[in-house]
Amino acid sequence: MKVTTALDRGFSSLAIDLGTAIVVLLFLDEVRRRIKHFEAHAIYINAVLKCGPASSMLFLFMLSLSQLVSCLVLSTPSLYLKAGTVVPSVLLGSTLLCELFLYNGLRDMEIFFKVVFIEMCVIMVALLRRDAKARAEAIGVPITGVSLTIEAYVRKTATTFRAALLGPPLAAFILFWAILFYRFWSHSGADFEIKRTSFTLCISECAFILFMMGHDRSPSAQTMATVTKLSGTIRKKLFGVSMRNGKKKFI
């Protein structure tokens, strides 16, 4: 039995899947940090909202749970094919905006722009990860004209700027820049938070570039698709084809 891998699905699907994976990992990391410092977050929420300790803890629990469930749905094909991508994406976008205002993120331009890039990625996950017919069947209602308009605009923009051709080197440069200058894991205290914010901003930019790459319909996208297909062919020649029982079928 032939097993389809990410390379076999083509350049566009691979770019969109990678972009989605980055968005999911960014949210999961925030949830991890929130759980790790749950008591401090609860005290802060109580001070801001003045809703009492129990209500603050319940709010944080519901916030974390909604993000975890949404990430699980978006990262599991069998779930988002049935449930759709709209509802979990809306939940992620809403909770992210809620955090932005609660933690005074508007005062920090890096945090603000990170939220902007992630929100744009979430919108594209909701509207563009699957074709219109599949999305209509998943959510049970026809796709509106607004959704199709946004989809057409994104694809036109990505095609105009040749995102499939310019995106890979740009994303690689941003990633290299982040690793070189924003290695937050080697810092502590305030420096850790500052560097981490800059690093996650760069990563969110890479995710946005990946989504744009996945919606490029120019000849350069066809070239990248051919390269991706060729890479898959070479991989099969070198390592064989995965079989259902875990063995390899070599040529």
Give the DSSP per-residue string, 117-172.
HHHHHHHHHHHHSS-HHHHHHHHTSPPPHHHHHHHHHHHHHHHHTTHHHHHHHHHH
Read off φ and ψ for residue 38, nearest 5 degrees: -60, -45
Nearest to 202 by CA among 135, 113, 137: 113
Say which residues have a Cβ less than 8 Å from residue 231's Cβ, sequence separation at least 6. 7
Per-residue pLDDT at 162: 86
pLDDT on residue 143: 53
| pLDDT confidence of residue 92 | 95
pLDDT digits (tens, 9 = 90+) for 35-78: 999 999 999 999 998 888 899 999 999 999 999 999 999 999 88
Here the tokens at position 233 are 């062919």
| 171: region left, alpha or beta (phi > 0 left; psi from -120 to 50 alpha) | alpha
Residue 76: phi and psi, rounded to 5, are -120, 110
Of 158, 248, 160, 249, residue with least CA distance to 211 = 158
With H, G, I as helix, E, B as strand and everything else as coil, classify residue 248.
strand
Contact yes or no for 127/20 (Cβ under 8 A): no
Question: Is the distance from CB of 117 to CB of 204 less than 8 angstroms?
Answer: yes
Q: For position 249, what pLDDT does the model report?
A: 45
Q: Which residues of the chain have pLDDT under 70?
A: 1-9, 128-147, 220-251
